[in-house]
Amino acid sequence: MAEQVLAAVRTGPGKTELREYPMPDIPADAALMRMEVAGICGTDVKLYQHPPSPAPVIMGHENIGTIAKAGREFTQRKGFKEGDLVFVEHYVACGKCEWCHLGQYRHCENTDWRGNPDAIRYGYTSAEKAPHLWGGFAHYVYLPWNSVVHRVPKGVTPELAGLVTPMANGVEWSLFDGGVGYNSTVLIQGPGQQGLSQTVICKQAGAALIIVTGTAKDGARLEVAKALGADHVIDVERENPLERVMAITGGKGVDVALDCASGAGTIPILLGIEALKRKGGVIVVQGEMAEFPNFPLGKMTVKFITVKSARGHSYRACELALEQLASKRFALEKVTTHRFGLKDVDLAIRSVGGKGVKDVIHASLMPWE
Ligand SMILES: [Zn+2]
Ligand SMILES: [Zn+2]
């Protein structure tokens, strides 16, 4: 095996450099993963432009790879051996706290980069922290004993498996948080990889009506939304979205509104609150902005709306997402539109942000290409 590991490192806002790190020694309770695909999402776009710290970081938090080396204890404890194709969550749990015992380790302080400077989270943690390989935009990634690893089902290619994170968020936000199920009516705002994944999950769960919104630049994405099961799509720049939702629902509004728009500020939340049914709807929000002047708290209360915060995915959501991918029930190859090599990380992230290659829905970073 090589002595050095090649990685694309974020060295400042909007800046990437290829660097080498020493191949780590793998203790008995750890493993080394050879990267196959790192998915790139809207979070990468934000973290790339506005790094939360000046430290050099190997980004890449949606990681699919093959176990290249596994310590004896790692295999004994976790059941994974060399050659297994796996998905590694970006959360690295402590395994001891109340959140970990609840299985909600995404809330564990050990992986909370906002509050804990020593937190470990793939794609976020400083590359200066030994053994350095904490991100997927690299040839190899280090897996400690407390990494959360899932088996990729047979027949699922690494590229398709690269969709597991948006799909798992789809399960978590629409089903677990939003309560979407049989006969639900749903408004999904934003037809990017996240909104399209929600569409698939809501369809699979039996939603009776799925409406997806986008803007003028989303023409191709809205077509994909229809192909994946959206009953109606709305270009919010050409039509009044609230009027359309009310016309489609016979004036009733929808049961659940999901915010998957990016960079739209308060607009999706205001529309969501208006478009929800008369009483008891659920809105799942992203909270992109720090403040919300004139938030319609009165309307929200009168409509008896429940607000849920979109916060990543749980273990169960990941497993269900992997099963969904394995089912091949939906034409998800329409979502995995682009591949980029390691030297093109900068272009890949910019393209996901709408400023490089055109019409990217989901970008797969293939570090060996
Ligand atoms: Zn992501
Ligand atoms: Zn914990």
The ligand minimizing its distance to the Cα of 110 is 2
* 3-state helix/strand/coil string of 260-313: CCCCCCCHHHHHHHHHECCCCCEEEECCCCCCCCCCCHHHHHHCCCEEEECCCC
- Quote the ligand 2 centre to 73 CA distance (angstroms): 21
- Quote the ligand 1 centre to 107 CA distance (angstroms): 16
- Quote the ligand 2 centre to 23 CA distance (angstroms): 28
- Quote the ligand 1 centre to 60 CA distance (angstroms): 8
β-bridge partners, 39? 62, 364
In whole angstroms, give the CA distance from residue 117 to residue 104: 20
- Quote the ligand 1 centre to 204 CA distance (angstroms): 22
The ligand minimizing its distance to the Cα of 109 is 2
- Quote the ligand 2 centre to 180 CA distance (angstroms): 29
In whole angstroms, give the CA distance from residue 119 to residue 110: 5
- Quote the ligand 2 centre to 113 CA distance (angstroms): 13
- Quote the ligand 2 centre to 146 CA distance (angstroms): 10
What is the value of pTM for the model shown?
0.96
- Quote the ligand 1 centre to 61 CA distance (angstroms): 6
The ligand minimizing its distance to the Cα of 120 is 2
For 258-268, give one letter per residue: b (16+ CB within 10 A) or e: bbbbbebeeeb
- Quote the ligand 1 centre to 79 CA distance (angstroms): 26
What is the per-residue pLDDT for 262? Answer: 84
- Quote the ligand 2 centre to 299 CA distance (angstroms): 37
What is the per-residue pLDDT for 297? Answer: 97
- Quote the ligand 1 centre to 82 CA distance (angstroms): 26
Question: Do 89 and 321 form a contact (C-beta atoms < 8 A)?
Answer: no
What is the per-residue pLDDT for 335? Answer: 96
- Quote the ligand 2 centre to 53 CA distance (angstroms): 23
How do the residues of the chain divide into helix, strand and coil, expressed in percent and rounded to 5?
A: 30, 25, 45
- Quote the ligand 2 centre to 314 CA distance (angstroms): 13
- Quote the ligand 1 centre to 63 CA distance (angstroms): 10
- Quote the ligand 1 centre to 38 CA distance (angstroms): 10
What is the per-residue pLDDT for 312? Answer: 95
- Quote the ligand 2 centre to 342 CA distance (angstroms): 32
In whole angstroms, give the CA distance from residue 44 to residue 206: 31
For each of the chain's 369 residues, which pLDDT tens digit applies?
A: 789 999 999 999 999 999 999 999 999 999 999 999 999 999 999 999 999 999 999 999 999 999 999 999 999 999 999 999 999 999 999 999 999 999 999 999 999 999 999 999 999 999 999 999 999 999 999 999 999 999 999 999 999 999 999 999 999 999 999 999 999 999 999 999 999 999 999 999 999 999 999 999 999 999 999 999 999 999 999 999 999 999 999 999 999 999 999 888 999 999 999 999 999 999 999 988 889 999 999 999 999 999 999 999 999 999 999 999 999 999 999 999 999 999 999 999 999 998 999 999 999 999 999
What are 301-342's pLDDT values in tens digits?
999 999 999 999 999 999 999 999 999 999 999 999 999 999
The ligand minimizing its distance to the Cα of 103 is 2
Looking up tokens 């996240």, which residue turns up? 194
- Quote the ligand 1 centre to 55 CA distance (angstroms): 20
Cα angle for residues 353, 354, 360 (degrees, 5° grid)? 95
- Quote the ligand 2 centre to 78 CA distance (angstroms): 17
